[in-house]
Amino acid sequence: MSAIAAPTVEINVTPSAAAEIKKFMASEEDLPETAGLRVRVVPGGCSGFQYSLNIEEESRNGDFIVEREGVRLFVDMFSGQYLNGIQIDYTSNMMGSGFTFENPNATGGCGCGTSFSA
């Protein structure tokens, strides 16, 4: 009898994104040790789905918990299917700064960089 491995979600966070996430979390008051960044996919945007990032005090039942670059990420099962293999980066240039998402699961996107289709 072979054991069936539980599904996992692979998310990569660049050092610049991790630094920015840590900065945001440090600015929040009284966050417990269980806190992390929720990375979700929600319906909307110009291509069908958009990314959502929120700091939460603890994971929820059924979440994938991923530790990268000293940052704890929470991913729900629905979002996990769209986020597996994604890379989260933080860029800053003359046009502004913000998180960017490189998603190998996306079949299309739009100019805003935060919306995709799958």
Q: How far apart are CA 98 and CA 89, in angstroms?
A: 8
Is residue 4 in some structural domain?
no
Q: Which of 53, 63, 56 is nearest to 90 (CA)?
A: 53
User: How does pLDDT run along the chain (118 residues), one tens digit per residue?
Assistant: 555 555 688 999 999 999 999 999 999 889 999 999 999 998 877 767 888 999 999 999 999 999 999 999 999 999 998 899 999 999 988 888 899 899 887 776 665 555 555 5
Tell me how far apart the alpha carbons of residues 103 and 16 are, in angstroms, rounded to a whole number: 18
The answer to whether residue 50 sits within a structural domain is: yes
Instruction: Write the burial class of residue 58 (CB in 10 Å: 0-12 exposed, 13-18 middle, 19+ buried).
Output: middle
Output the domain CATH number for residue 50.
2.60.300.12
- Three-point CA angle 63, 66, 67, nearest 5°: 145
Domain that holds residue 19: 11-117
Q: Is 53 exposed, middle or buried (0-12, 13-18, 19+ CB in 10 A)?
A: middle
The pLDDT score that the predictor gives to residue 112 is 54
Domain count, the chain: 1
- Is 3 among the domain residues? no
Q: Report yes or no on 1 lying in a domain.
A: no
- The verdict on residue 100 lying in a domain is yes
Is 90 domain-assigned? yes
Q: Which residues of the chain form beta strands (DSSP E)?
A: 11-13, 36-44, 48-56, 64-68, 71-75, 86-93, 96-102, 108-109, 115-117
> Does residue 34 lie within any of the structural domains?
yes
CB atoms within 10 A of CB 35: 16
Q: Quick check: is 107 in a domain?
A: yes
